Homo-oligomer: A and B are copies of this chain.
Amino acid sequence: MAGNTFGVMFTVTTWGESHGAAIGAVIDGCPPRMPLVESDIQEDLNRRKPGGGRSASPRKEDDVVEILSGTFEGKTTGTPISLIIYNKSARSKDYDAYREVFRPGHGDFTYDRKYGIRDHRGGGRASGRETAARVAAGAIAKKILQQEGITAVACTKELGGIVAESSELAAIGQNELYCPDAAAAQRMMKKLSEAKKDGDSLGGIVEIIVRGCPPGLGEPVFDKIDADLAKALMSIGTVKGVEIGAGFQASRMTGSQCNDPITPDGFLSNNAGGILAGITTGQDIVIRVACKPIASIEKEQATVDSAGNPTTISVTGRHDVSVIPRIIPVCEAMVAVTLADHLLRRKPLSL
């Protein structure tokens, strides 16, 4: 339990550094006899790939995934599935300048304090690149959910302070920001372009909506499904806040406003976000996460070097302007992994 494994019955262990030989994941607990080939996974990896929108970094990653174990003739066998993605375009030299200096907003300082050693190249283990392994594992989790009729879809709810007024998932395929509000998406793109010109970066809010989830998932009292979702999402480096349903807004409601009335035809509202007392109600699960602006910016910042001396830094290189939209499939993956785990932890009502 040294921190690189997630889950109880469906476990994901990730490994690898940004500029090492490869990154990968071992998925244990996947049900047997489920069809699974590389292309099932590759699709989500491609959605995470840079090079799409203005928000994206010019680094060309192929991110080709290979399945090394756990399948036989195109089907899962119930044994661990090992996935590997080789690091092809790693230009370690790009990072020589950061070997002895702590980039503000990054894990450079804390890894140094924790381990007394760090792979400085691209953030090493703390790099956003690590999330590719999560996306790959998430694609397998999604296939499990699919068998149960469950989908987990994320979209851009806010970027650089610009709010998407709609949550219409049908619209999100129409723009490269996965934004349900086309007009807002255009303004977001403009804002990204400006931030890039300024050598600065932007944050935003991602909303994840789970449909088709049966009631009864989640465990009392510490492993509530919202607790596990919060952990799953907060474990993404960029995330600084998580809310469920009405979330922070619920704290400003009265009980009579916030409680979702129940009728024979179902709940009349969904302030609970599909979860009551940590267990799913069968309604949509609604989650929002706050993503901080990308820490790597060209703008000069004050910092110190390893020896503790003051210096300044301008982080150049192939950096995105915002984690949105690349973080979208990562959020989906972590939600899918959490739900697959709880599906497999669920006990049948009768043994």
Contacts and interface: CB of A to CB of B under 8 A. Distances in A.
B223 A260 contact: no
A185 interface: no
B293 A106 contact: no
A344 B282 CA distance: 24
**Would you list the 5 A-B pairs with minimal beta carbon distance, nearest first?**
A107-B277, A3-B219, A2-B29, A241-B243, A201-B255
Contacts of A203: 250-254, 258
Contact of A3 (B12, B220, B350): B220
A151 B142 CA distance: 39
Given A29-B2, A240-B251, A264-B304, A117 B297 contact: no
Interface residues of A, number: 157
Contact of A279 (B107, B130, B275, B303): B107
Given A220-B125, A241-B244, A310-B264, A293 B255 contact: yes
- The residue in A251, A254, A299 that gathers the most chain B C-beta atoms within 10 A of its C-beta is A251
Contacts of A102: 262
Contact of A258 (B198, B224, B292): B292
Copies of this chain assembled into the complex: 4
A82 interface: yes
Given A1-B223, A160-B252, 20 more contacts: A5-B11, A5-B222, A6-B222, A13-B26, A15-B68, A15-B79, A15-B80, A15-B82, A21-B68, A72-B118, A72-B124, A105-B258, A105-B259, A109-B215, A110-B216, A224-B237, A240-B246, A249-B290, A253-B293, A263-B302
A5 to B, nearest CB: 7
Given A32-B116, A125-B220, A13 B80 contact: yes
Given A254-B200, A351-B147, A77 B277 contact: no
Contacts of A68: 15-16, 20-22, 24, 84
Nearest to A307: B264
B5 A104 contact: no
Contacts of A227: 230-232, 234-235
Contacts of A350: 31, 33
Given A13-B80, A234-B226, A277-B106, A264 B309 contact: yes
A117 B34 CA distance: 10
B290 A248 contact: yes
A79 B125 contact: yes
Given A22-B69, A78-B114, A110-B216, A292 B261 contact: no
A119 B72 contact: yes
Contacts of A243: 240-243, 248, 290
Contact of A230 (B17, B231, B259, B304): B231
A153 interface: no
A200 B160 CA distance: 37
Contacts of A245: 240
A349 interface: yes
16 contacts: A4-B220, A5-B13, A17-B70, A22-B68, A24-B68, A77-B124, A110-B215, A195-B254, A202-B254, A203-B253, A204-B251, A227-B232, A230-B230, A230-B242, A243-B290, A255-B294
